[in-house]
Structures are given as structure tokens and as C-alpha cells.
Amino acid sequence: MLPSAFWLQRVREKPWKSSQIKAVAAILAIIGIALILWPTSPAPSPSSTPQGQQSLPLPGHESTALEKDLSQVLSRISGVGAVQVKLTLKSQGIKVYATNERVETRQTQEKDQSGTTRNITEQSSDRQLVLSNNSPVLEESKAPEVVGVLVIAEGAANPAVEESLSQAVTGLLGIPASRVTVLPMERGGGIK
């Protein structure tokens, strides 16, 4: 007799105690919960972009580039002097690239000898980035969402210069003045 057959025969013949049944049920429940909670690779989230488009997040260096650009513009305001800018971003922005999508649908109808008809539908799709000169074609670019701005400037001790800086930042970034802080720069200071 095989060992597995012996074990099955023994289980069938010997009745289980309720404590044994509860223990086995608890072990199976723990294993089931562990399998449910076991981390898996993240499933792709449904895309909110229209068909034929592919979106990619902007790299993290966008905030640094935006800070440098803003610093250069603000330093040209009369009486400002050296400027450093620090941005707090809610999101990094999104770039949407053009894609070509090809969907192929094939339908087959089969009849067997008894006259039963079976319809089979197969569908496949293929999506590729649209390239121009070996670069993806950009359809849309959404700017990073700015939550707050800190401006440190040499001339910010002067209230008129401080107001000019605040107005320039709110106008350029389209955010309310309550999200902009302008402070005077210490000698040899700035944001590190």
C-alpha cells in the first residue's frame, strides 16, 4: 500500500476531534490571509489618458530647473540683487506622448456535427510611441503643481522690493500670495 493511500485510509477511519478541526481551520485561514496579503508586483493602474496617448512623469530635476529659471528672472528686478528660490511641489507634472495603437479583432464561427454553433472572438492590441527624428512626439505637457515658494533675496529687506518679488512670483506661477514667502538674504547666505 502506498504511504499516501495509507494516510487517506487512516483519516477516513479515525474521526477528527473538534479541537483538531479548529486547529486545521485556523492554520488554513492564516495561510489564506497570508496569500491574500502577500506583496505582488503592482498592477498597472487604469490609464486616465485618452487612447492613443502615453503619459510619463517628469523627472525630479524639473523643480531644480524651475528654481534656477525663477532665480534668474527675479534677480533682474531692480534692487533685488542675488536671489535663491526653493519650490515645494505637489506633483512633478506630466508629459503626454503620442502613440499609435492598433487593435485587431478576429471572429470565428464553428459548427459541430450536432449543429451547435460556437462563436470565438480574439482581440489583440499593440501600442507604440510615435517618433520623429528618433524622439517621441510630445502631445501635451502639464506643468508641476506648485504648493509654496520661498524666495531669499539680498534686496528683500526693502518692503517695495519684497512686494515686487512676491507679485512677480504669483504672476509667473499663478499661485496666491499666501503661498509665497520672501525673506532677506544674510551676507554670504542663501538656501543650502
Q: Based on the domain organization, do 148 and 177 belong to the same domain?
A: yes
Task: Give the model confidence (pLDDT) of 52-94 as tens digits.
Answer: 444 444 444 567 888 898 899 999 999 999 999 998 888 777 8
Assigned domain for 46 exists = no
Indicate the pTM of the whole model.
Answer: 0.48
* CA distance between the termini of the chain: 78
Asked if 156 contacts 183 with a C-beta cutoff of 8 angstroms, the reply is yes
Same domain, 92 and 143: yes
CATH code: domain of residue 171: 3.30.300
| Average pLDDT of every residue of the chain | 79
Same domain, 161 and 178: yes
pLDDT tens digit sequence for 86-124:
988 887 778 888 888 888 888 888 888 888 888 888 888
Residue 43's pLDDT is 47
Pairing of strands 180-184, 145-153: parallel
Q: Could you tell me how many residues make up the chain?
A: 192
Domain that holds residue 166: 53-96+139-184
Please indicate, yes or no, whether residues 164 and 82 belong to a single structural domain of this protein: yes
Co-location of 12 and 85 in the same domain: no
Alpha helices (H) along 38-158 = 62-75
Statement to judge: residues 154 and 143 lie in one domain: yes
Q: 181: burial class by Cβ within 10 Å (0-12, 13-18, 19+)? A: middle
Residue 167: per-residue pLDDT: 93
Number of domains making up the chain: 3
Same domain, yes or no, for 25 and 120? no
Q: Which residue has the cell 509654496?
A: 148
8 A C-beta contact, residue 49 and residue 95: no
Q: Do the domain assignments include residue 43?
A: no
Q: Say if residues 153 and 83 touch (Cβ distance below 8 Å).
A: yes
The answer to whether residues 165 and 90 belong to one domain is yes
Tell whether 76 and 145 lie within a shared domain: yes
Residue 107 lies in a domain: yes
155-165 tens-digit pLDDT? 899 999 999 99
Same domain, yes or no: 27 and 113: no
Residues 91 and 7 in one domain: no
Helix ranges, the chain (H):
3-13, 18-37, 62-75, 159-173
Same domain assignment for residues 89 and 63: yes
Q: Is residue 190 part of a domain?
A: no
- Beta strands 135-136 and 131-132 are antiparallel
